Homo-oligomer: A and B are copies of this chain.
Amino acid sequence: MTASLRQVAERAGVSIRTVSNVVSGFAQVAPDTRARVQEAIDELRYRPNAAARHLRGGRSGLVALAVPEIASPYFGELAGLLVREAERRSWMLLVQQTDGDAEHERRLLDGVRGQVVDGLVLSPWALSPRELRRAPGGVPVVLLGEQDADGLLDHVAVDSVAAAREATRHLITLGRTRIAAIGPQPQLDNGTAARRVEGYRQALAEAGLPADPAREVPVARLHRADGAAAMAALLDAGREVDAVFCFSDQLALGAMQAALSRGVRIPGELAVVGFDDVEDGRYATPSLTTIAPDKEAIARDALNCLADRLGSGHQDRPARRIVAGHRLVIRDSTAGLAGRRS
């Protein structure tokens, strides 16, 4: 099948160890020996055996990304960036799906851990901080989103309170006063959604606008269909609403679709803001105003966390809480001018 160090050694007339030295460029090897060995390597097309290295060294070079659903545009885009970032470090990315299922997430925490990957980037959905905390001492974990496991695991997230406040404030500056929020998830112990609600309420309070609980529409998942259903519910209930802040672009796109199909004009009668800045939103009609998290930074920082926990000496440093940047991107769904996309 594929050549091993032994075969290369035989061919080059040296010991296995010397070939290993050439391959890993470790110890000093005499130039002519190195050349002879290299020749044998090329002829036999030798490639280091990953399994053996993994067994010997305890590192697989694999990192897992676990998200509720990889088909979701936000996670797809993030996965793309993580793959790229991983490659930069000679790692490879393994993708796991939790389907937003607690049991699944639990299994990942002590299943994939310690076995095949060197680290895990987890976007928890159903698991409470309490459960995340009891993660055993396996491989390093980085959480995405604001589920902070009581400071026991590293995590990377945007400042959702601030971002939600900015988004809502933006709607307020447009003169909207009856602003709904689509995306709370009271049924889950979900830090991210809770914080976005908080930011939304803060902005309303700052502006002296009343907070109407009936305008906070909870959703079960973050799909377009959930956004569409939520919007439909708002409209059917006759809630007079002139703007809506959606906790994800997916929800916003679904909401827009539902509103448009009922003849509601956007942004004229209804201004819409999303969250995530996925590509779909940029090309939707109208294009979607949104909070754009710095996804590159999230990907980079997440792998940085893993990298330095894998590095020597830092294994037990206290958990980090990294705040990634974000900015409000204003597009047609809130811009009066019915103009071009950003």
Q: List chain A positions with a Cβ less than 8 A from chain B.
A: 1-2, 45, 47-52, 54-55, 58, 60-62, 69-73, 75-77, 79-81, 83-84, 87, 92-97, 111, 114-116, 136-138, 223-224, 228, 253-254, 256-257, 260-261, 279-280, 282-285, 287, 340-341
Contact = CB atoms under 8 A, between A and B. Distances in A.
Contacts of A51: 51, 54-55, 58, 60, 116
B71 A76 contact: yes
B84 A80 contact: no
A216 B291 CA distance: 37
Nearest to A295: B71
Contacts of A116: 50-51, 61-62, 92
B260 A283 contact: no
Contact of A279 (B50, B71, B256, B279): B71
Contact of A77 (B52, B71, B84, B254): B71
B97 A49 contact: no
Say how many copies of this protein the assembly contains: 2
Contact of A283 (B72, B136, B224, B283): B224
Which secondary structure dominates where chain A touches chain B? Answer: mixed
Given A79-B70, A80-B71, A285-B256, A47 B114 contact: yes
B83 A70 contact: yes
Contacts of A224: 279, 282-283
Nearest to A225: B283
A283 to B, nearest CB: 4
Given A2-B114, A75-B76, 20 more contacts: A45-B136, A47-B115, A48-B115, A50-B116, A51-B58, A51-B60, A51-B116, A62-B62, A69-B80, A70-B76, A70-B79, A71-B79, A71-B279, A73-B76, A92-B116, A95-B95, A228-B283, A257-B283, A261-B285, A284-B284
